[in-house]
Copies of this chain bind each other. A is one copy, B any other.
Amino acid sequence: MEMSHRSKPYAAIIEAAEAKLRKIMGIPDNYTVLFLQGGASLQFAMIPLNLLRNSKKADYIESGAFASKALKEAQKYGDIKVVGSSKADKYSYIPKVDPSEYRQDADYFYICANNTIYGTKFHEYPETGNVPLVADMSSCILSEKVDVSKFGMIYAGAQKNLGPAGVTLVIIRNDLIGEVDEKVPAMLNYKLMADNGSMYNTPPTYGIYMLGLMFDWIEGQGGVEALEVRNREKAALLYDYIDQSELFKGTAAKEDRSLMNVTFVTGNPDLDAKFVAEAAKEGLVNIKGHRSVGGMRASIYNAMTLEGVQKLVDFMKKFEVENKEA
């Protein structure tokens, strides 16, 4: 933590972190990797400020609260079309959009790949042709194999699958990095960040070091492919139980279910609260749904083991037996 970011030992750390990520994620050479600050929320502005370069048009799918926030930021800077939204249905599914709705001259097309709060994900990505697809993968990055070449840009706040909060990973195709309006703050300029190897100013050095360790761990687990197998197993265990339960109901559309965030309710807020409280006593913490939706949410990121999910299912079964009549 005391190491100068301009020192040789630290240069080795940040370069190794990038090299490891390129390897485990299969990032093509024509993409730049950036380690930034400010979280996904700063990307919500950086993306339009950098990528609205030609038509100043972008298409957005509004599939959750964070996609909605991204959309609101983008609306400050260009002609933004909401090509699909599930807002009216509490974001319980991924909007299905006919590609004829996509604008062929848009500067980019935006999605949030996994919707943390609602427990949904894109199981198939929109085919946007020549329009670069930009994806917020904050809550699903490295959870399953992704073909980076299908995206113009992938980004993620670190705090789910990457490392400690305070690092934002950006993977961007080189041709999308270019000049920005002169009024864009220096720190919000991808080109300046890229030209300086993420060291225009002091980066979050320790966080990046931790990301490097995480990439080592992923490789040791057998890579992203192995994690995906385990993640599918974990999610299936939980969803299979929920689907046959008479007490618990999943809240996300089945075909859009997330592998990372499993959302469910009993249908009775008091019983939900009782479940959350009793689960905590068993060491099953942070099971409460996001403050904006209530209910329950099991976030089963890469770090969660199959055994951990089994423990949750066992507890849910026990709770169901004890509370079925309630």
Contacts and interface: CB of A to CB of B under 8 A. Distances in A.
Contact of A40 (B5, B40, B77, B201): B201
Given A164-B1, A164-B205, A166-B205, A186 B37 contact: no
A291 B199 CA distance: 14
B183 A77 contact: yes
Contacts of A72: 186
Interface of A: 1-2, 4-7, 37-42, 44-46, 49, 69, 72-73, 76-77, 157, 159, 163-167, 182-183, 185-188, 200-207, 210, 286, 291, 303
Given A7-B286, A201-B40, A76 B182 contact: yes
Given A45-B185, A185-B45, A165 B38 contact: no
A193 to B, nearest CB: 11
Contacts of A204: 37, 164-166, 204, 207
Given A166-B204, A202-B157, A204-B204, A186 B38 contact: no
Contacts of A7: 286
A49 B185 contact: yes
Nearest to A301: B2
Given A77-B183, A165-B202, A166-B204, 6 more contacts: A7-B286, A41-B201, A44-B185, A69-B186, A159-B202, A185-B188
A70 to B, nearest CB: 10
A6 B166 contact: no
Nearest to A303: B2
19 contacts: A1-B210, A7-B286, A37-B42, A39-B187, A39-B202, A40-B201, A41-B201, A42-B187, A44-B185, A77-B183, A157-B201, A159-B202, A164-B204, A164-B206, A165-B206, A166-B206, A166-B207, A204-B204, A204-B207
